[in-house]
Amino acid sequence: MSLIESINKDNLPKHLAIIMDGNGRWAKQKGLLRTLGHESGTKSVKSTVETCAKLGIENLTLYAFSTENWNRPKLEVDTLMKLLVRSLKKELKSLQKNNIQLNSIGNLSKLPESILKELNDVIDKTKDNTRMTLTLALSYGSREELLNVVKNIGYKVKNNIISIDTIDESIINQHLYTHNLPDVDLLIRTSGEHRISNFLLWQIAYAELFFTDVLWPDFTDENLYEAIISYQKRERRFGKTSEQIKQT
């Protein structure tokens, strides 16, 4: 039986998030510039997005550019931005064909105007697509996101818009960038690193984590299937005992 045949289509993660790591190391191993690693990584993005849609995964979030990535060498940042614009223009037709809606989260005000224009254009043109929501985390940092949540809720309490006694998890969820998305069920990180890197810290509270040594440009459908099969073999208890889960 092939890997894809082993996947239970009735037990897919509703929200899959991926930390796409290893582009630079992939390029270094091959004696290439880091920027060429990022270019090669776009092929894995395209393949993963289309495969997730075909499988029936409803929400896919990709960590494309973190708030910390702005500190990288200017040439690398500029290349990443150019790649983003080029990919958005190039993949619009594919997003429409596959009925995929584009979404974005992060401190988007930091993005260059040309990027923002292209991003908003693709978001607008795909807003009615229903097969899958693809979210790009751009200029994203979870600590910054949570800080903004605290500030926004604090402002509303101060101005009597909401009462402090009504603040609960649902109120916090409403103020997150991901307010229109469910919590993450499965988080994949490539390249052998075993850390979260300031990504969706609130949203992954009960996510299953899958780490692989595969560098992102080498990430294939087979690697994706392995992660999903691993997820499906796990018992998700959400703080309960195995016995309680079996009784429900």
Which positions are annotated as active-site residues? 21, 69
Q: Which helix (H) or strand (E) holds 61?
A: strand 59-66
Output the six-digit token pair for 145: 């996101």
Residue in this structure with the two tokens 């776009």, named with its chain if needed: 42
Polymer length of the chain:
248
**Is the distance from CB of 84 to CB of 155 less than 8 angstroms?**
no
**Is the distance from CB of 144 to CB of 105 less than 8 angstroms?**
no
**Is the distance from CB of 142 to CB of 200 less than 8 angstroms?**
yes
Q: Which helix (H) or strand (E) holds 151?
A: helix 142-158
**C-alpha span between 19 and 65 (Å, rounded):** 10
DSSP designation for 200: S
**Is the distance from CB of 82 to CB of 156 less than 8 angstroms?**
no
Nearest Cα to Cα of residue 207 among 182, 225, 229, 190: 182
Question: Cβ contacts of residue 218 below 8 Å, gap of 6+?
Answer: 22, 26, 44
Dihedral class, residue 192 (left if φ above 0, else alpha if ψ from -120 to 50, else beta): left
**Is the distance from CB of 37 to CB of 82 less than 8 angstroms?**
no
